[in-house]
């Protein structure tokens, strides 16, 4: 692994826009690499378990080098700004959870309401301008406050995930498309993909 030196602006370029959620993920990944004395993952030595599918995950991909394709980015979508980083080389891991008092509503009580208007398309030109001004200040605070004020940080002992495996592909006998063997289903004694398999349930 090599040392990461990805900037927040690079994370913005990767993600597509600046936002508080991206800043939170950036701070988490930046701190994890420093704390674990790990570098940006070129393979699978560093693993990130993320508990949200929000914007911050993109920063983690860029800064920590973790991705679904490499098998070292695991999504457990519990709707929490919580991130666990595991260094397979040292068996050390930390979990960072955003503190309640550092939530967007606490940082700037007005900004979330403006965001709702922006997303709903009801913001006036003046509110549009105010939204971006306030958002810039929220992001700036997230990037600058001491990490302990942003996250609850704990060393943890999670079960270390196995490394990614390469599986043989089989052909779905219904649609004809190839599917990884471990994701295939069997219907009438033949391999089918999940969409072709359909759902089965008895209301339980």
User: What is the domain-level CATH number for residue 182?
Assistant: 3.30.60.20
Residue 203 lies in a domain: yes
* Count of domains observed in the chain: 2
- CA dist 27 and 99 (Å) reads 13
Do residue 49 and residue 139 come from a single domain?
Answer: yes
Pair 120, 175 in one domain: no
Q: What is the CATH number of the domain that holds 97?
A: 3.30.1330.130
Same domain (yes/no): 75, 128: yes
Shared-domain flag, residues 100 and 198: no
Task: Give yes or no: residues 117 and 144 share one domain.
Answer: yes
- Cβ contacts of residue 187 below 8 Å, gap of 6+? 196, 197
Q: Is residue 1 part of a domain?
A: no
> Around Cβ 65, how many Cβ atoms within 10 Å?
26
Instruction: Report whether pLDDT(15) > 90.
Output: yes
Please give the pLDDT value at position 162.
Answer: 75
Tens-place pLDDT, residues 167-192: 899 999 999 999 999 889 998 899 99
Range of the domain at 193: 165-204
The residue among 151, 131, 129 whose CA lies nearest residue 142 is 151
User: Is there a domain that residue 180 lies in?
Assistant: yes
Phi-psi region of 189 (alpha: psi -120 to 50; beta: other; left: phi over 0): left
The average confidence (pLDDT) of the chain is: 91
Residues 173 and 145 in one domain: no
Mean pLDDT of 51-55: 95
Q: Is residue 33 part of a domain?
A: yes
- The pair phi, psi for residue 165, each rounded to 5°, is -115, 155
pLDDT band at 2 (very low <50, low <70, confident <90, very high): very low
What pLDDT, in 10s, does the model give residues 107-161? 899 998 999 999 999 999 999 999 999 999 999 999 999 999 999 999 998 777 7
Is residue 3, in this structure, part of any structural domain at all?
no
Give yes or no: residues 96 and 184 share one domain: no
One domain, residues 120 and 190: no
- For 130, the token pair is 């105010």
- Please give the span between the terminal C-alpha atoms of the chain, in angstroms, as a whole number: 47
């Amino acid at each position: 692994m090599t040392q990461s030196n990805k900037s927040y602006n690079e994370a913005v370029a990767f993600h597509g826009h600046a936002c508080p959620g991206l800043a939170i993920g950036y701070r988490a990944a930046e701190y994890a690499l420093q704390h674990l004395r790990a570098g940006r993952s070129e393979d699978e030595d560093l693993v990130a378990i993320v508990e949200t599918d929000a914007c911050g995950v993109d920063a983690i991909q860029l800064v920590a080098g973790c991705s679904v394709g490499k098998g070292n980015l695991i999504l457990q979508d519990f709707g929490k700004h919580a991130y666990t980083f595991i260094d397979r080389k040292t068996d050390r891991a930390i979990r960072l959870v955003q503190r309640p008092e550092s939530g967007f509503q606490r940082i700037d009580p007005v900004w979330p309401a403006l965001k709702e208007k922006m997303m709903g398309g009801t913001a006036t030109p003046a509110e549009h301008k105010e939204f971006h001004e306030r958002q810039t200040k929220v992001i700036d605070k997230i990037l600058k406050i001491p990490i302990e004020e942003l996250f609850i940080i704990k060393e943890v002992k999670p079960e270390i995930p196995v490394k990614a495996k390469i599986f043989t592909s089989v052909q779905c006998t219904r649609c004809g498309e190839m599917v990884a063997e471990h994701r295939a289903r069997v219907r009438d004694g033949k391999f089918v993909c999940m969409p072709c398999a359909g759902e089965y349930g008895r209301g339980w």
